[in-house]
Structure 1
Amino acid sequence: MDHDDDDDLDGLDEDQLAALTAIRRLGEVVERMPWFSRIGEPLDETDRALAQRYLDMLGFPDATPVPVMDWAEAGDAASSTDLNSEAWEVEEQLRADLSREALMQFDEESLSDTLSFIAEAAGPQIVEATANAASLWPIEEPEVIEAATGAAVQACYQAALVLAAQAVEDHPFGLKFRLFERGRWPIGLSGRTFNIF
Structure 2
Amino acid sequence: MTDDDDFPEIDDDTYAQLEREAPVLSRLKRFADGLDRASWFSHLGEAPTLKVRAAAIAYVEALGFPDAQLAILPTWEDAAGSAETNDWASAPWEAEELARADLTGRALEIVSQEALEIGLAMVAQQVGKSAKDAMEEQASLWDVVDESDQRLAVGAAAQAAHGMGLLLIAAAADPDIDVTEHPFATKMRLFELGRWPVSVIGGTFNVF
Per-residue deviation, 1:22: 2.3
Match of 1:50 among 47, 52, 55: 55
Deviations 1:113-136 (A, max 9, x none): 100010011111111111111111
Contact map agreement 1:34 1:183 (CA 8 A) in 2: yes
Quick one: distance in 1 between partners of 2:51 and 2:135? 23
Unaligned runs of 5+ residues in structure 1 are: 1-9
Per-residue deviation, 1:140: 4.8
**Cα distance change of structure 1 residues 71 and 112 upon mapping to structure 2, 3 Å threshold:** same
Considering only CA atoms, is the larger Rg found in Structure 1 or Structure 2?
2
Q: Within 5 Å, give how 1:8-157 maps onto structure 2.
A: 11=16, 16-157=21-162
- Name segments (4+ residues, structure 1) moved above 3 Å: 10-18
Show the counterpart of 2:201: 190
Instruction: Give the residue type in structure 1 aligned to 2:164.
Output: A
Per-residue deviation, 1:13: 7.4
Scaled by the length of structure 2, what TM-score is found? 0.85
Quick one: distance in 2 between partners of 1:110 and 1:14? 12
Quick one: distance in 2 between partners of 1:102 and 1:67? 34
Unaligned runs of 5+ residues in structure 2 are: 1-14, 172-176
Show the counterpart of 1:168: 178
- Identity score, percent: 37
Quick one: distance in 2 between partners of 1:69 and 1:165? 36
Contact map agreement 2:127 2:158 (CA 8 A) in 1: yes
Quick one: distance in 2 between partners of 1:22 and 1:175? 19
Quick one: distance in 2 between partners of 1:18 and 1:171? 22
Instruction: Give the residue type in structure 2 aligned to 1:63.
Output: A
Which secondary structure does the structure 1 equivalent of 2:110 belong to? coil
Contact map agreement 2:20 2:111 (CA 8 A) in 1: no
Deviations 1:151-170 (A, max 9, x none): 00111111100001113221
Per-residue deviation, 1:36: 0.4
Does 1:180 find its partner at 2:191?
Answer: yes
Contact map agreement 1:38 1:182 (CA 8 A) in 2: yes
Once the two structures are overlaid, the 10-residue window that deviates more, 90-99 or 19-28, is 19-28
Per-residue deviation, 1:47: 0.4
Contact map agreement 1:72 1:139 (CA 8 A) in 2: no
Per-residue deviation, 1:16: 4.3
Once the two structures are overlaid, the 10-residue window that deviates more, 18-27 or 117-126, is 18-27
Which secondary structure does the structure 2 equivalent of 1:157 belong to? helix
Contact map agreement 1:80 1:190 (CA 8 A) in 2: no
Per-residue deviation, 1:21: 3.0
Quick one: distance in 1 between partners of 2:119 and 2:70? 32
Kindly report the root-mean-square deviation, in angstroms, between the aligned alpha carbons of the 2 structures: 1.8
Instruction: Give the residue type in structure 1 aligned to 2:93.
Output: W
